Amino acid sequence: MVKLYVYGSLRKGGYNFDRFKNGNNLNYIKTEVIKGWSLYSFGSYPAIIPGDNSLTVDILEADKDTYENIVDMELGANYKIDTVNGYPIFVYNDNEIDKYSPLVYSGDWIKYKSNEIKSKY
């Protein structure tokens, strides 16, 4: 089993968590806040780069096949694997996203998307 940090649609409550959980060995462990990362919105999904903000992450545990499927998805979407506190995390492969994407000040993607949905109604 592999433990990893996730911060976007792979967090518990996100559409990719549900997608990868369905029929696979993927488990939520806990939520933490880590420092040194800035979270940006691409609309339906986020990206992080090193920065001065805090980031809300979930620690997930996945079997090898599920983890490899997650890695394939992330690498195919222009992310790279970094390591924070011993856990892999997917970092966007362009340190200039702050020039074209809005910063999510809270650092919490699930909260941000929830508030975005509420503001539409």
Q: Could you read off the pLDDT of 68-80 as tens digits, one per residue?
A: 999 999 999 999 9
**Inside any domain, residue 121:** no
- Structural domain of 85: 2-113
**Inside any domain, residue 105:** yes
Q: What are the strands of the beta sheet with 2-6, ordered from one edge?
A: 2-6, 46-62, 26-41
The whole-model pTM stands at 0.90
For residue range 30-67, list pLDDT tens digits in order: 999 999 999 999 988 999 999 999 999 999 999 999 99
**Inside any domain, residue 119:** no
**Inside any domain, residue 88:** yes
With cut-offs at 50, 70 and 90, classify the pLDDT of residue 114.
Answer: confident
Residue partners of 25: CB distance under 8 A and separation at least 6: 1, 62, 63, 66
For residue range 80-108, list pLDDT tens digits in order: 999 999 999 999 998 788 788 999 999 99
**Inside any domain, residue 118:** no
Question: For position 30, which CATH number holds?
Answer: 3.10.490.10
CA–CA separation, 70 and 44 (whole Å): 17
**Inside any domain, residue 80:** yes
In the chain, the number of structural domains is 1
